[in-house]
Amino acid sequence: MNANVSAEHQRRAQPLRGIQKVAALLLAMGKPNASRLLRHFDQEEIRLITLNAAQLGAVSASELDDLADQFLNQFAHGASLFGTAGEVEKMLDGVLPEDAVSEIMSDVLGNSNRSIWDRITTVSETVLANYLAKEHPQTAALILSKIRPASAAKVLSQLATPVRNQLMRRMLSIKPIVQEVMRDVEKTLHEDFMLNLSGSMEADSFARMADILNKMDREHMEEALTSLNDERPKSAEMLKGLLFTFDDIVDLNARTKMAIFDQISTDNVVMALKGTSPQFRESILSSLTSRMRRIVEFELNSGEPSTQREVLEARRTITDLALEMAGRGEIDLNPKQEERTYFS
């Protein structure tokens, strides 16, 4: 027990980063000052601060001084602190309702009691796949052999076939690992992922919100973005870069549009194009097969009325398919110029 505590108090290998700095300063301020500041954060931000604070461990007075210099350029020398879940719970008491504190602390305690191999499954499979692709194959194989099989399968599916096959061969021949080496691997993973978890969670939050906005009516989407822009213009700008709407389809290259509309029924194409401008309509029609184009043009010229709801549902079907195809890596929704074709 004493050995563990003394080890925690050793000078950390890497300086505090991101939300760790916020957590350290809030703990150092004491409950009255920290409570006043925490009221300016929303619950998700408090959750991130709490997760980082509970895993903070020892923070020396010199580190606190350095932090204070960065933010305020003046700070009194104080005692060292040791961030624990108990200290964080005291800090939150009276700031949030009891049920909110209980929910956050449940996450914190559950997260801190799990092994690194369980906790790393919370990391996006794409992020983990990109990380392993840069590691030595034997190290990557070891990590994949230690995480949950379902997670390992998802990560492997994100890798190129030659890399995937090589890693699977190595996983079959992994031998017992010296405990010191395993501890080094676990420590590195903790530093690379768990200490940066807040950044990953923030990115995931934007991706989830973009997915929600993509599925909203255009009017409601614009209202939400306008409201967000008034409060958090940078966040609104980041979200706009992740959005894809029916109107954006005309910016895609012909090959991508053809890939999308090859999987859309004629009825949905006709319904989606109702009420569009001649230029927009021509951009879509030019991506259809000759037969399908003739049918769509005939149906549009017939002038049969449709409700706004029917039109919006058809457009939603097309954008949802485009987003699904992009998620599977089948198409790229980033606007690009046509590639030049050479015949000789």
Whole-number pLDDT of residue 198: 47
Which of 72-76, 121-125, 134-138, 220-224 ranks highest by mean pLDDT?
Answer: 134-138
CA 286 from centroid of its chain's CA atoms: 36
Residues 218 and 245 sit within 8 Å (Cβ to Cβ): yes
Task: Indicate the DSSP class of residue 192.
Answer: I
Q: Find, among 125, 107, 108, the residue nearest to 193 by Cα.
A: 125
User: pTM, whole model, 2 decimals?
Assistant: 0.39
Top-confidence range, 106-115, 145-154, 183-192: 145-154
Domain 199-240 in this protein, CATH class: mainly alpha
Q: Average pLDDT of 185-210?
A: 64
Which pLDDT does position 93 carry in this prediction? 66
Average pLDDT over residues 106-120: 59
For residues 64 and 263, the model is more confident at 263
Looking at residue 57, the DSSP 8-state letter turns out to be E
Per-residue model confidence (pLDDT) at position 141: 92
pLDDT (tens digit, 9 = 90+) per residue, 128-142?
A: 888 888 889 999 999
The most distant pair of C-alpha atoms in the chain lies apart, rounded to whole Å, by: 83
- Looking at residue 85, its pLDDT comes to 56
Calculate the average pLDDT of the chain.
75
On the 0-12 / 13-18 / 19+ scale of CB atoms within 10 A, 129 is buried
Give yes or no for residue 5 having a pLDDT over 70. no
Domain 246-327 sits in CATH 1.10.760.10? no
| Most confident listed range (75-89, 109-123, 147-161) | 147-161
Q: Report the Cα 195 to chain-centroid distance in Å.
A: 15
Domain boundaries, the chain: 2-113, 118-195, 199-240, 246-327
Least confident of 20-24, 106-110, 132-136, 233-237: 106-110
How confident is the model over 167-187, as a mean pLDDT? Answer: 84
Place of tokens 């890497």: 14
- The domain over range 118-195 is classified in CATH as 3.40.50.300: no
For the segment 293-338, what is each residue's pLDDT rounded down to a tens digit?
A: 999 999 998 878 888 888 988 998 898 888 888 777 788 876 544 4
Q: How far apart are CA 55 and CA 84, in angstroms?
A: 7
The pLDDT score that the predictor gives to residue 46 is 78
118-195 and 246-327 share one CATH topology? yes
Could you tell me what percent of the chain has a pLDDT over 90?
A: 16
Alpha-carbon distance of 167 to 149, in angstroms, equals 14
